[in-house]
């Protein structure tokens, strides 16, 4: 166990400043040496006992002793078997180990050397000139000369196009009421497309009336879909007849032969433009005009007679 003769060794600000420079092991060893014997008096010291008591290795203890010798805080007089020493511990020397300049505070930190913002009022400093340029002027501004980002020229809104009288007449004849949605799509679509869609929608409504089938939505909504999908009316047909005159007889015979399976004019079913009459075959949906050009009614009658179909089918 290490024995100390002076448990209250003198510690000054120079000791505190020096402790910041030393390694932890060297600082601890230096404080032990100052407490073991008065500064400036020789003493015998065993590094092995210090290592056992302070829990440092012998390698670290020897390195700490060399560090103290390099700073002239410890003077080794004699060495015994590499681990025992006769030495003298010294207090810090102001001129060598811990000089404290007048520009350093008592805590060891440098004092601020910053000059006042403007020590000479005659000459403007950088701070004053920078603040002056960064701040806006306070000169009064004439309200008439004041510019504003909101005073931009307004872009004139183009007037809405007028609906052609011919379209209005067709809408009134077909019985369609002009609402906001229908009016907007009629104004933004070509007149020819609108007229064809009106005729096709009128044919579709006539077909439903002939078959006593109800319309599941408003007629105006049907016309909007017809304009968007660009329905086209059946050629040679007016608004009162939705189907060609020979279609019913042709379709019954084609279905009996196995040439046709179904018919429709709805674009979402056939995949073609709305209003076009199509027939479902083994190859898919085909327009009735194309099928009629391939299989005329007279040819279907001959095929039916060969198949042994009766006159009433």
**H-helix segments, the chain:** 13-19, 24-36, 47-54, 58-70, 126-134, 165-174, 180-187, 191-210, 219-228, 247-257, 267-270, 288-294, 297-306
Alpha-carbon distance values, 170 to 30, 227, 233, 241 (Å): 112, 14, 14, 16
> Is 109 inside any structural domain?
no
> Is 122 inside any structural domain?
no
CATH number of the domain at 20, please: 1.10.10.10
Q: Give me the phi and psi of 91, to 5 degrees please.
A: -75, 160
Are the CB atoms for 51 and 57 separated by under 8 Å? yes
> Is 206 inside any structural domain?
yes
| Number of domains into which the chain is organized | 3
> Is 137 inside any structural domain?
no
For residue 310, what pLDDT is reported? 55
Do 282 and 254 share a structural domain? yes
| Total-model pTM | 0.31
For residue 313, what pLDDT is reported? 47
Of 197, 228, 259, which residue sits at a domain end? 228
Q: What is the pLDDT of residues 93-136, one digit of tens each?
A: 644 444 444 444 444 555 555 555 555 555 555 555 555 555 66
Are the CB atoms for 229 and 276 separated by under 8 Å? no
Do 224 and 251 share a structural domain? no
> Is 259 inside any structural domain?
yes
Alpha-carbon distance values, 160 to 153, 183, 311 (Å): 21, 11, 60
For residue 238, what pLDDT is reported? 44
Do 222 and 256 share a structural domain? no
> Is 147 inside any structural domain?
no
Under-70 pLDDT residues of the chain: 1-11, 82, 93-153, 158, 235-243, 273-275, 308-313
> Is 18 inside any structural domain?
yes
Of 63, 89, 115, which residue sits at a domain end? 89
Of 59, 89, 119, which residue sits at a domain end? 89
For residue 227, what pLDDT is reported? 93
Q: What is the pLDDT of residues 20-41, one digit of tens each?
A: 788 888 888 888 888 888 888 8
* Residues contacting residue 48 through CB under 8 Å, at least 6 positions apart: 58, 83
Domain that residue 77 falls in: 13-89
For residue 97, what pLDDT is reported? 46
> Is 273 inside any structural domain?
yes
Do 84 and 38 share a structural domain? yes
Are the CB atoms for 206 and 173 separated by under 8 Å? no
* Residues contacting residue 220 through CB under 8 Å, at least 6 positions apart: 176, 177, 179, 181, 182
Do 197 and 257 share a structural domain? no
For residue 120, what pLDDT is reported? 53
Are the CB atoms for 257 and 303 separated by under 8 Å? yes
């Amino acid at each position: 166990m290490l024995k100390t003769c002076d448990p209250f060794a003198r510690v000054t600000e120079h000791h505190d400043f020096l402790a910041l420079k030393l390694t932890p092991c060297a600082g601890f060893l230096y404080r032990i040496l100052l407490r073991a014997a008065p500064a400036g008096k020789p003493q015998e010291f065993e590094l092995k006992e210090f290592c056992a008591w302070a829990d440092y290795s012998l390698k670290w203890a020897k390195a700490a002793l060399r560090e103290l010798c390099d700073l002239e805080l410890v003077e080794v007089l004699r060495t015994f078997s590499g681990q025992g020493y006769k030495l003298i511990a010294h207090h810090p020397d102001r001129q060598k180990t811990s000089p404290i300049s007048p520009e350093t505070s008592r805590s060891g930190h440098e004092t601020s050397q910053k000059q006042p913002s403007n020590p000479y009022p005659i000459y403007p400093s950088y701070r004053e000139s920078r603040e002056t340029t960064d701040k806006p002027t306070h000169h009064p501004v004439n309200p008439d000369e004041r510019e504003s980002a909101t005073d931009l020229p307004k872009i004139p809104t183009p007037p809405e196009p007028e609906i052609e009288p011919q379209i209005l007449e067709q809408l009134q004849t077909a019985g369609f009421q002009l609402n906001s949605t229908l009016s907007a799509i009629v104004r933004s679509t070509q007149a020819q497309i609108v007229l064809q869609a009106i005729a096709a929608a009128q044919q579709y409504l006539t077909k439903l009336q002939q078959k006593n089938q109800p319309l599941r939505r408003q007629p105006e909504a049907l016309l909007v879909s017809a304009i968007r999908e660009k329905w086209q009316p059946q050629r040679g047909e007016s608004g009162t007849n939705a189907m060609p005159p020979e279609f019913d007889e042709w379709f019954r015979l084609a279905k009996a032969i196995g040439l046709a399976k179904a018919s429709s004019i709805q674009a979402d079913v056939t995949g073609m433009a709305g209003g076009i009459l199509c027939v479902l075959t083994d190859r898919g949906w085909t327009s009735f005009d194309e099928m009629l050009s391939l299989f005329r009614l007279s040819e279907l009658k001959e095929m039916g007679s060969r198949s042994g179909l009766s006159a009433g089918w």
